[in-house]
Chain A
Amino acid sequence: MIFWEIAKRNIRIHLLRSTLAMLGIVIGVVAIASMGILGNSLVSTVSESLKSVGDSVIVTPYSGGGGGFGGGGGSSSVSLKITEQNFQQIKRVSAPNTAIPVYSTSDHMKIGVGSDDIVAAIYALPSDDVPDMMKLQSGGYNNGNSGCLVGATFAKDHNIKVGSRIAIGTDGSKGTLRVTGIIEERGMSFDISTDSALVVTPEWFENAYDRNKDYDEVVVKVMDGDTATVKTNIEKQLNKRKDNKVVSVMDSKATLATIYATFGTVTTFVTAIGGISMLVAGVSIFNIMMMSVNERIKEIGIMRSIGTQKKEVMRMFIYEAAIIGVVGSVIGGILSVLAGYAISALMFKTTKYLLTVANALSVTEGVTFGIVICLVCGIYPAWKAANMNPIDALRHE
């Protein structure tokens, strides 16, 4: 069609001007799409870190509002615990899901003779429940009373292997444990963070730290039903009195949803910042289209006088804006994938999250927005051109 041809030739004849306008769109698309890719990659990275969270409900002693569990009066120095009686209640209301009582502390320890004194977290949970909570990368679960499991990061940092010995307590006062297994990396989690910790038996823990069925937390692994219902049941059972709550209950699924929603908001925000550059590019397109119209007033007058309809004149200018928009946006889309690759490689040290549906959508959004902005910014100049009085346009010098 002749108007498409005229639009193309007009862009070609004003190549520098058109290229600069396209550059604005390219920058806008790259800003929007790469910000989207950054946000999506961030979410993917966090998801990867939290993949071990699974569906669980974490019950800890209530520490807020001045009340306290275990006879405390609200002082921060009071040690809050979950009693065996409360654990049994949690177990009952959570059934048939597994409720796992967990001891936790941190202590000094030494690995091997003459090594530096280090401090690390120590967890204790029933041996039968350990396979439900974690997987091993080497060794075995059956750690016996003087055996322990160590986290992957801890093992790597301190060159610990299956069979290594760890003296617990200052100068080994709590005894020596033999490493029977290395726990697979679990990443961030809401229940227990084992990557840099030790996992021992409850019997050893109770003996070493003089504890007796007063747990630091209870983890309910939800296999049947949903986490929200389990959470509600526990709260109903244990926090009957609003002014004297016994436990705090966290639903891992809901917490994850909140985290993802927060990341979603952050992604939207940074993408919106990218959108500002697109608006600036839109103003530039508008300006260039107005220049194009003003330069061609006489041409418009000739066209109208020899029988060109208003809509055809309008179409010619819209084509021009569309060519700038499509070419600029597509180039921007390609560059944003490259920018996303660079961002992923530099910030997250991996590009495995690049080729995802979410990132494809971000690039598509950026490209679509670029094209739409160009078309919208081309509408008024095109309308102005189409509605010129042909006589005035013909007389224009």
Chain B
Amino acid sequence: MEPVIKFEDVVKVYPLKSGDVTALDHVSFAVEKGEFISIMGPSGSGKSTLLTLMGCLDSPTSGNIFMGGIPVRNMSDVELTNLRRDRIGFIFQYFNLFPLLNIIENVSFPEMLKSGRGVKEDRAREVLRAVQLDESLYTHTPLELSGGQQQRVAIARALINNPDILLCDEPTGNLDSKTGASIMELMTELNRNGSTIIVVTHDSNVAKYTSRTIQIVDGCIAS
């Protein structure tokens, strides 16, 4: 079976006026289906670059990235966007929900992009129940919810299209420790139910929930 994500000798260089900066230097690794991985490293080590490449938001300077065995190198912007919509779920540190939409609409957003139709409320409710969000909050707007509740909504939004992988950027970074722990427990449960999850963090407490940790230092995988 093909890995969900495979990096093959990936290099990412940012050309700057003051000189080129190599953010990732010949990085190779694979993520198998059902894995729960944390990516750790100090600031400036290349964690965010790795996340943007895994999320198909950017392309490598050299090397190959495969999503489910398919190389993404020569994909058009439209194809990459569809890939993000259908196969990747993003969870951000600051939740990044749409303030103009209510919870049901926020969760349904990627599904609406995919189907080109309106809100599928049943499906949204199903996912929201899976992330254990109180049903009375479904018609509220994000700003009326607590941080932990917003992150649950963000997780539900990431799950709605049944993606191959969940990419999480410091998912507990903006939450208190108790709420952060509950979010990580939710992720553990999702992983137990089959979701492949990659968490980028510098919090070792978060890494404890994962089954494998990739350490990245100066753009190279250290372990």
| A interface residues, Cβ below 8 angstroms from B | 1-2, 5-6, 9-10, 13, 298-299, 302-310, 312, 390-391, 394
Contacts and interface: CB of A to CB of B under 8 A. Distances in A.
Contact of A307 (B52, B92, B105, B114): B114
Interface string B47-69: 00000100101100000000000
A391 B90 contact: no
* A-B interface, 5 closest residue pairs, ranked by CB to CB distance from nearest: A307-B85, A9-B100, A302-B96, A307-B84, A2-B112
B29 to A, nearest CB: 21
A1 to B, nearest CB: 7
B110 to A, nearest CB: 5
The residue in A6, A10, A394 that gathers the most chain B C-beta atoms within 10 A of its C-beta is A394
Given A306-B157, A391-B58, A6 B81 contact: no
A395 B110 CA distance: 21
Nearest to A387: B77
7 contacts: A10-B100, A13-B100, A305-B57, A306-B84, A307-B114, A394-B92, A394-B96
Most buried by A among B81, B82, B98, B161: B81
A306 B84 CA distance: 6
A135 to B, nearest CB: 69
A127 to B, nearest CB: 83
Interface SS majority for chain B: helix
Nearest to B105: A2
Contacts of A5: 101, 105
Given A1-B112, A6-B101, 4 more contacts: A1-B118, A307-B81, A309-B81, A309-B113
A302 B105 CA distance: 15
A391 B96 contact: no
A305 B90 contact: yes
Contacts of B57: 304-305, 390-391, 394
A323 to B, nearest CB: 14
A317 B119 CA distance: 20
Contacts of B16: none
Nearest to B108: A2
B109 A2 contact: yes
Contacts of B109: 2, 306
Nearest to B96: A302
Q: Chain A interface secondary structure, helix, strand, loop or mixed?
A: helix
B78 interface: yes
B86 interface: yes
Contacts of B90: 305-306
Nearest to A2: B112
A298 B81 contact: no
A309 B96 contact: no
Nearest to B55: A305
A305 B84 contact: yes
A309 B82 CA distance: 8
A358 B126 CA distance: 59
Given A305-B90, A306-B157, A312 B113 contact: yes
Contact of B118 (A2, A306, A307, A394): A2
Contacts of A9: 100-101
A3 B93 CA distance: 25
Given A312-B113, A391-B58, A307 B82 contact: yes
A6 B100 contact: yes
Contacts of B108: 2
Contacts of B55: 305
Contacts of B114: 307
A391 B98 contact: no
Contacts of A1: 112, 118
Contacts of B100: 6, 9-10, 13
Contacts of B77: 310
Contacts of A302: 92, 96, 98
A302 to B, nearest CB: 4
